Amino acid sequence: MKRPFQFTGRVRSFKYAAQGLWLTLKTQHNAWIHAAATILVITLGFVLGISRIEWCLIVFACMAVWTAETLNTALECLADAITKEFDPLIGQAKDVAAGAVLLTAIAAVIVGVLVFGPYLHVLLFTSE
């Protein structure tokens, strides 16, 4: 039986989502790196005055990395809830999830180079 829509239920779901993001930041050292990189590229975007389309690319790249990191954290939490002892299949699942984070981070760096590269090239190598 479906429960009816409740505004308080939606507010609670946002609260739980925020708690999940906070847990990721508190417990995952790589999330600190992602946070620093996110702050850096947002600052760089404002300083360099990137276009609306470039902002879209940067936001998408950042959110892809954050999505991969939070899903990786969720998988690790579930795996650790199943057993604290080493299990080769759980180890493989954790490695694959970490690989997904690595792939998105590499793609985000490529997007960053493609977006910021021309601006930085002009700034650093063009004399007036």
* Cα dihedral value 30, 34, 37, 43, nearest 10: -150
Catalytic residue among 69, 76, 85, 128: 69
Query: What's the alpha-carbon Rg for the chain, to the nearest Å?
Result: 19
The helix-helix angle for 7-27 and 29-48 (nearest 10°) equals 100
Q: Three-class SS string for 22-74?
A: HHHHHHCHHHHHHHHHHHHHHHHHHHHCCCHHHHHHHHHHHHHHHHHHHHHHH
Active site residue 69: yes
What pTM, to 2 d.p., does this model score? 0.88
pLDDT given for residue 128 in this prediction? 63
What is the chain's pLDDT, residue by residue, as a tens digit (128 residues)?
787 888 788 889 999 999 999 999 999 999 999 999 999 999 999 999 999 999 999 999 999 999 999 999 999 999 999 998 999 999 999 999 999 999 999 999 999 999 999 999 999 998 66
